[in-house]
Amino acid sequence: MKKLLIGGIVGGLILFIWQFLSWSMLNVHAANFTYTPNQQQVIDCLSANLTDGEYFIPGVPPDASSEEYAEYQKNAVGKPWAKVNYRSSFNVNMGMNMIRGFAMDFLAALMLCWILLKIPNVSFVDVLMSSLAVGLIGYFTGPYINNVWFETSSIGDLIDALVSWGLTGAFLGWWLRR
């Protein structure tokens, strides 16, 4: 139980610290936040036309028929589109966001430890590769799929998956084999 809890806590801290560095000081995700000098005009237009939510523009109404959807697709080819995550108020609750972020990192590391502790005589390399596999599974089924469908940049997410889970795996490879 001690190995599980300490592995989860320290593994969670490693993930959390890397994420903090990646999104702040190292700016690994700069490609996800392109600046426009027209931001005030864009915000004014969005504020006048949207309520809080996520939008794919242009789109079809939820009750559109299959014929209307087919027409939309035909007419949309080659034209501009946008995926918008709009909020009417900028509210950064860093304290609660950080608590929630660490809680998820702790649970992810704890679940990985639980799985790894089921393997008798697990080697350092097996722990490291398993940890990297967990990171890559998360990347492939989340950020990369968004990259495929919405043409986003996911290089920062790939770096995060490899570095954070590689560091976590290196620690767990040492810790769980003690």
Tens digit of pLDDT per residue, the chain (178 long)? 999 999 999 999 999 999 999 999 999 999 988 999 999 999 999 999 999 999 999 999 999 999 999 999 999 999 999 999 999 999 888 999 999 999 999 999 999 999 999 999 999 999 999 999 999 999 999 999 999 999 999 999 999 999 999 999 999 999 999 8
What are the Cα distances from residue 61, in Å, to 12, 65, 71, 79, 142? 42, 9, 13, 19, 26
- Rounded to whole angstroms, the Cα distance separating 117 from 112 reads 9
Q: What is the token pair recorded at 40?
A: 């005030």
Look at residue 93 in the predicted model and tell me its pLDDT: 82
Element (H, E) at 85: strand 82-86
Given a contact cutoff of 8 angstroms between Cβ atoms, the answer to whether 125 and 29 are in contact is no
Maximum distance among all Cα pairs of the chain, rounded to whole angstroms: 63
Reported pTM? 0.87
Question: What is the four-CA torsion angle of 86, 92, 95, 97, rounded to 10 degrees?
Answer: 20
- Rounded to whole angstroms, the Cα distance separating 142 from 140 reads 6
Look at residue 91 in the predicted model and tell me its pLDDT: 86
The candidate with the shortest Cα–Cα distance to 111, out of 17, 23, 5, is 5
